[in-house]
Amino acid sequence: MAAKFLTLACIRNESFGGLSPRPHYPSMPKYPKGVSETERDVEGSEAKAVFSVIGMTCSACAGSVEKAVKRLPGIREAVVDVLNNRAQVMFYPSFVNEETIRETIEDVGFQATLIQDETNEKSIQVCRIRINGMTCTSCTSTVESSLQALHGVQKAQVALATEEARVHYDPKIINHNQLLEAIEDAGFEAILISAGEDMSKIQLKVDGVGTHNSMRILENSLRALPGVQDIDVDPNVHKFSLSYKPDVTGPRNLINVIESTGNGRYKATISPEGGREVHRKEEIKQYYRSFLWSLVFTIPVFLTSMVFMYIPGLKHGLDTKVVNMLSIGEILRWVLSTPVQFVIGRRFYTGSYKALRHGSANMDVLIALGTNAAYFYSVYSVLRAATSEDFKSTDFFETSSMLISFILLGKYLEVLAKGKTSDAIAKLMDLAPETAILLALDSEGNVINEEEIDSRLIQKNDVIKILPGAKVASDGFVIWGQSHVNESMITGEARPVAKRKGDTVIGGTLNENGVLHIKATRVGSESALSQIVQLVESAQMAKAPVQKFADRISKFFVPLVIVLSLSTFLAWFLAGKFHGYPKSWIPSSMDSFQLALQFGISVMVIACPCALGLATPTAVMVGTGVGASQGVLIKGGQALESAHKVNCIVFDKTGTLTVGKPVVVNTRLLKNMVLQEFYELVAATEVNSEHPLAKAIVEYAKKFREDEENPTWPEAKDFVSITGHGVKAIVRNREIIVGNKSLMLDQKIVIPADAEDMLEEIEAMVQTGILISIDGELTGVLAISDPLKPGARDVISILKSMKVKSILVTGDNWGTANSIAQEVGIETVIAEAKPEHKAEKVKNLQASGYIVAMVGDGINDSPALVAADVGMAIGAGTDIAIEAADIVLMKSNLEDVITAIDLSRKTFSRIRLNYIWALGYNLLGIPIAAGALFPSSGFRLPPWIAGAAMAASSVSVVCCSLLLKYYKRPKKLDALEMQGVRVE
């Protein structure tokens, strides 16, 4: 089940013209409609073109490009990679040319350029960068704009919740150092996470190095090593950051080079990569320290201004005049609040300067303006008191210092809460074991040495020993031993899977009862676990369409708040100046100017753009993380948003509603023939097909060749796959046709009455009938059974109760399709459907007003998966189906369809709640801070309380999203036992 899932190719970029790897399946449509048999012999004239497509933002864009290109005549295959903004088209030049394809892509609304120099080197690379210092969506927009403006950058995504940027760029035009410089020029700290997805990255700490010259010698030694791509050196801490090709070299080789260069004087170790968690912990510590230091100064300021003034003895001491009207209390507050304003609050000044320098305004601008207004007015008041014999000053030093303290407390709590949104990734990473037992083998395969090593030091082709009860240290295959491995943490398969020589294993799974020796095939970022982590991280980076609402607001939010704040100040000041309200409204400790200033500052600091910016990404982060822990991989906010609206689901049959492991249960021969010879001819034909029914026939045929484990079948010439119908080939100079009834009729093969009766009987038993013709005569009928997944009927019933319509679309015959549909409770059935018919049916349903999800597992489902609003791929299905889908159901359980829809609905109700809270908070808070309640009730919101409320709003939005961590599947699913049926 897990083997096919290992690639998770939507993340990786390897060969195949720089696009995600896609195996060729004979069942893909090959020729334009109406092309005759003779014209189909133009295989040699097939051509390939790769286009750079700029402007795609999500899988829906990729789907529209793919659909438009596939409609052209002469297109054999079109593959659109939204991650790398590329389209690869296989076509027949006699029907269509590159320029027509390019114009078609541009007609869809995207800029397309033909890539002439198509070499093995990837034209587009993806760079991941951590960004420190972003506070709200205004910051993300600034960084995105700075990156998009660079020549060579195709797409830039910046996520506030993850504090990361993912940049798609052309390495021939621009390098990752220039990307880092652009971010730093925009006023933020940039740290490279990875550049180029075909490389592994490692950080090595070297002990024993004395001079910078020694570091240079080590750097030159490492650069000379084959496979080393890029080296960054930090000589101060004796650290190397290296990118290397795992096919060529590995971490042990790098460490050996360092230690041998120093003749044993140097000791190299892998240092932590400084991942998101390390940075998050450091950020939490920084805010905690800043908050504690601000308290040290703020508490005395608060006590002298708000508490000691009511204690007679202390009040007299604080009111003692030093110079003219300047008192000891005012000097104390001034001295104590200054370090809070300019040292501890320095981050707000730097953040404001960086934002304003690039023509944008963020939360730091509001805080800096508010605290400066309070502080500098207080300084003016104190200085005037020192130079006047009759001016009685009122200072607001407590306002500025308490404001900064509460905001730092809010940021500390917010970062603490945001750290918990990525718990799912941390749990996935923890599945990998820390150590592994490395075996050294002699030329005959005997073990000559065992060594326990850090699992991060495993290299490709290493032989690793896995003890009973230990976790498998790396993806690979068994070369010795037998055992059972629990793969539920990766695939969801409940029962342990038997493993023996030649079987694949997945890193992070649990070996149960035997010793295994495995050869490592995928290490580092190539492993299944890393791919899943990357998929979840990628999903958390992608913005949901609903987030555009917050992005639009953020552009004018801060300027609008500044205008409202100034308007509030002027309105109250002018009203006081011209006696617009009774003097009794003014508190005894201040005048009308000070009252107006407090109202203005309160408006400025109560407004919170952060809460709006965090409303969507934090909920999407937690939602996708929870989904991953439940075996539902959701590829980003777009898929999550579409899934919650789904009201119609189109199910494929084989491998989706059924187990997907068909077996031959009956054979009827219509001609005198030896059964072994019959199956040799049929198997020789079907062995070229990837279809599950073909595989079932080949497996059954092996029973007649029991003496061989992997028998070789006779050569099949002129093999042709007729999509949705069957196959034909010439075997031993005999024409063999294997397929359904419609294929036989198309090929003008007569179907006798007794064969018709057999087909009816087979279909009545919910089995699939396959007809075999040899030299133009119907020779045999096979009955193939693919049992229904347990609980399929219950799933359809639950979907009905959720007001979701279910439809069955299959390439199988009508009889079998109707029998299956009746058994599970589906009313609408489309049978004998070719791949393009499935996609057309999806489009028709969309035209009728349905939001359609397609659930499938095969290559022939990929057009429909792309066409649907939400494509859901069964995890055990083909790689191409997994790539085409928006949601991957890793456990291959139908119940996860319900989990995916229910989780998306819960996530979006949480996002709506976040927006109601964030918007409602600002819409209510700003008028109250502006003094809307003051005339009627005398209620006034002091600036420091307004600042505390602003800090609390961000924390409350993040905590609201975090409640999703306690998501539970619908209770109806708990009663279902749907762990799959194993067909031996």
CA dist., res. 698 & res. 689, Å (int): 10
User: How large a percentage of the chain has pLDDT more than 70?
Assistant: 86
> Which of 401, 392, 398, 402 is CA-nearest to residue 590?
392
pLDDT, tens digit, 9 for 90 and up, residues 360-399: 777 788 888 888 888 988 898 889 888 887 777 777 788 8
C-alpha dihedral sign at 754, 760, 765, 770: positive
Dump the DSSP string for 542-604.
SPPTTHHHHHHHHHHHHHHHHHHHHHHHHHHHHHHHTT-S-GGGS-TT--HHHHHHHHHHHHH
CA dist., res. 942 & res. 603, Å (int): 10
CA dist., res. 5 & res. 8, Å (int): 6
Q: Is the pLDDT of residue 121 over 70?
A: no
pLDDT, tens digit, 9 for 90 and up, residues 846-858: 889 899 999 887 6
Residue 746, exposed/middle/buried by CB under 10 A (0-12, 13-18, 19+)?
middle
Question: What pLDDT, on the 0 to 100 scale, is given for residue 649?
Answer: 93
pLDDT, tens digit, 9 for 90 and up, residues 432-463: 788 889 998 888 778 888 888 888 888 888 89
> Distances in Å between the alpha carbon of 530 and those of 426, 436, 534, 632, 727?
12, 17, 6, 16, 38
Catalytic residue among 364, 395, 462, 652: 652
CA dist., res. 952 & res. 959, Å (int): 10
Which whole number is the average pLDDT over 720-725?
78
Question: What pLDDT, on the 0 to 100 scale, is given for residue 289?
Answer: 93
* Amino acid letter, residue 270: I
CA dist., res. 631 & res. 601, Å (int): 49
**648: pLDDT confidence band, cut at 50, 70 and 90?**
very high
Which whole number is the average pLDDT over 12-19?
34
pLDDT, tens digit, 9 for 90 and up, residues 942-957: 887 887 887 788 888 8
**903: pLDDT confidence band, cut at 50, 70 and 90?**
very high
Question: What pLDDT, on the 0 to 100 scale, is given for residue 860?
Answer: 67
CA dist., res. 398 & res. 526, Å (int): 55
Contact at 8 Å (CB) between 778 and 771? Answer: yes
> SS3 for 504?
strand
Q: Which residue has better confidence, 321 or 275?
A: 321
Q: Please report how the helices 363-387 and 592-606 are oriented relative to each other, as an axis angle in degrees rounded to 10.
A: 160
Question: What pLDDT, on the 0 to 100 scale, is given for residue 917?
Answer: 83
Q: Buried b / exposed e across 141-163, counting CB within 10 Å, b at 16+?
A: bbbbebbeebebbbbbbbbbbbb
> Which of 530, 531, 522, 525 is CA-nearest to residue 504?
522
Question: What pLDDT, on the 0 to 100 scale, is given for residue 976?
Answer: 57
> Which of 532, 724, 728 is CA-nearest to residue 630?
532
Q: Buried b / exposed e across 475-492, counting CB within 10 Å, b at 16+?
A: bbebbbbebbbbbbbbbb
Q: Which residue has better confidence, 756 or 63?
A: 756
Contact at 8 Å (CB) between 517 and 463? Answer: yes
Q: Is 857 a catalytic residue?
A: no
pLDDT, tens digit, 9 for 90 and up, residues 138-149: 788 888 888 988
Which whole number is the average pLDDT over 171-198?
80
| Radius of gyration over every alpha carbon of the chain, rounded to an integer in angstroms | 34
> Which of 478, 476, 479, 480 is CA-nearest to residue 521?
476
User: How large a percentage of the chain has pLDDT more than 90?
Assistant: 10
Q: What is the DSSP letter of 825?
A: T
Neighbouring residues of 643: CB distance < 8 A, sequence distance ≥ 6: 634, 853, 870, 886, 887, 900, 901, 904
Q: 0.75 exceeded by the pTM? A: no
Which whole number is the average pLDDT over 694-718?
81
Neighbouring residues of 424: CB distance < 8 A, sequence distance ≥ 6: 536, 622, 624, 625, 626, 628, 629
Lowest mean pLDDT: which of 91-95, 518-522, 525-529? 525-529
Contact at 8 Å (CB) between 930 and 564? Answer: yes
Which whole number is the average pLDDT over 775-797?
86
**42: pLDDT confidence band, cut at 50, 70 and 90?**
very low
Q: Supply 814's token pair.
A: 């009508």
CA dist., res. 743 & res. 773, Å (int): 10
Question: What pLDDT, on the 0 to 100 scale, is given for residue 570?
Answer: 94
CA angle 257, 258, 262 (to 5 degrees): 110
Question: What pLDDT, on the 0 to 100 scale, is given for residue 852?
Answer: 92
> SS3 for 768?
strand
Neighbouring residues of 398: CB distance < 8 A, sequence distance ≥ 6: 298, 301, 302, 305, 306, 333, 337, 944
Question: What pLDDT, on the 0 to 100 scale, is given for residue 36?
Answer: 40
Q: Is the pLDDT of residue 259 over 70?
A: yes
Length of the chain: 984
Contact at 8 Å (CB) between 127 and 169? Answer: yes
CA dist., res. 838 & res. 241, Å (int): 49
Q: Supply 297's token pair.
A: 């100064």
**409: pLDDT confidence band, cut at 50, 70 and 90?**
confident
Average pLDDT, the chain: 80
Question: What pLDDT, on the 0 to 100 scale, is given for residue 946?
Answer: 82
